[in-house]
Amino acid sequence: MNVIRRHRWLQALLLLGPAAIWGAFFIIYPVFEAVKMSMSEMHYFRLVSKWSTESFHTIFSNSLYTDALMRSVTRGLIVAALSVAISVPLAHFISFRVKRHQFVWFGAVVVALWLGYLLCIVGWRVLLGRTGVISGLLTEIGILSHPTGGLLFNETALIIVQVHLAMSFSFIPIFVVMQRVPHRLMHAAADLGANRWRQIIEVELPLAGIGIGIGAVFAFILSFGDYIAPTLVGDPASAGIANLAASEFEHGLNWPLGAAIGVVMIVVVLLALAMPAIVVGLMRLVGRLRRGARRPRRTRSLAPETSAA
């Protein structure tokens, strides 16, 4: 006991060691193994390890895979844009318009969003199906002459469902940053004559920008990596890259190819995760260059000068 008390590094080791070991075995090592498999080849249903780029070559030269990759990226961007477009007004409404019981509202939204992945899909299938609620309602009102099955199994249905699923990840970061926007800054802008829209566009959104960026990235990742909803509510013929990866393993066809698609997807997701940082860095750089161009002598920011004075 005394030995442990005397050495802080030993305490750190005891606390962090298990997590480090778990992470090494079940986070790092599997990725390594996937990379290794992506460079192997299949010979007569057996894996043969070698340094081969065959699978990656297949992915980037065969239009089946490039098209699927493009489709997944495009769909991810659409889902990200839509879920931000819904989350931002909702978060703004709860943060700035709701005066009392803000957390009840927040809780209600969170509860609605975290209902569960499959449950959400089941629900939308009941809503959109041939005999389902929406088609039935529209028939009753008289917009449709007979119930339609055309609402399900297409790209629109898939995007609706994925936006719903993605909002659970995009709403929370956006709401958190909106909570941090000081109300008095909005009041100050109002006093200086900015109308409500200018207050939102020039004060609130730039301050909330990073949360919105993170929310968008989460939504993109959810849609990009989803291989279940595309086959259950989308058009199975135009699923995405994730489905191709899953089916290589499901049908035991070509494991190295499946692993290679996985590796490509990891790269895309990591790039997406780095996006907010890259954008912020670029914006700072552009800002600095602009300021530098305007005032070549005084490039320093205000803060050190005031503290020196």
Partner 1 sequence: MLFLFAPAAVVAIYSFNKSPLMSWPPELGTLHWYSKAFENENLVKGLKNSAIVAAVSVSIAVAIGLPAGLGIDRFDFPGKTAFQRTLMLPFVLPGLIGGLTLLTVLLSLQLEPSLGAVIIAHTTMLIAVVVIQMAVVLARWDRSLEEAAQDLGANEIRTFLYVTWPNIKAAIFGAALLGAAVSLEETARTSFVIGENDTLPIVVLSGLRRTITPEINAVGTVVLVFSLVAISVWSKFGAADLARE
CB of 42 or CB of 190, closer to partner 1: 42
- Residues in region 114-143 near partner 1 by CB under 8 A: 114-127, 129, 131-133, 135-137, 139-140
Binding-site member from 10, 15, 188, 286 for partner 1 (CB under 8 A)? 15
Least gap, CB of 99 to partner 1 (angstroms): 16
Residue (of 135, 214, 123, 132) closest to 164 by Cα position: 123
Under the binding rule (CB under 8 A), the answer on residue 20 touching partner 1 is yes
> Whole-angstrom Cα distance, residue 158 to residue 90?
22
Contact positions with partner 1 (CB under 8 A) in 247-276: 249, 255, 258-259, 262, 265-266, 269, 273
Show the binding pattern over residues 41-70: x = contacts partner 1 (CB under 8 A), - = does not.
Answer: ------x-----------------------
Nearer to partner 1, 53 or 301 (CB): 53
- Contact between 278 and partner 1 by CB under 8 A: the answer reads no
Which residue type does 290 have? R
Strand pairing class (41-43; 46-48): antiparallel
| Near partner 1 by CB under 8 A: residue from 159, 164, 203, 211 | 164
> Which residue stretch of 53-61, 198-206, 244-252, 294-302 sits at the interface with partner 1 (rule: CB under 8 A)?
244-252
User: Which residues 183-222 are close enough to bind partner 1 by CB under 8 A?
Assistant: 218, 221-222
In whole angstroms, the minimum distance from the beta carbon of 299 to partner 1 comes to: 29
Segment 65-94, which members bind partner 1 (CB under 8 A)? 86
- Please report, for residues 13, 136, 261, 266, 305, the alpha-carbon distance to residue 31 in angstroms, rounded to integers and kept in the order given: 24, 47, 12, 9, 48
Query: Least distance in Å: CB of 6 to partner 1?
Result: 12
Which part of the chain contacts partner 1 (CB under 8 A), choosing from 21-29, 54-62, 199-207, 291-299? 21-29
Q: How far is the CB of 193 from partner 1 (least distance, A)?
A: 31
Least distance from partner 1 to the Cβ atom of residue 295, Å: 35
Interacting residue with partner 1 among 41, 52, 225, 238 (CB under 8 A): 225
For residues 220 and 163, give the distance between their C-alpha atoms in angstroms, rounded to a whole number: 10
Q: How far apart are CA 5 and CA 12, in angstroms?
A: 11
Nearest distance, CB of residue 58 and partner 1, angstroms? 17
The CA distance from 241 to 223, in Å, is 11
Q: Which stretch binds partner 1 (CB under 8 A): 60-68, 170-178, 276-284, 295-303?
A: 170-178
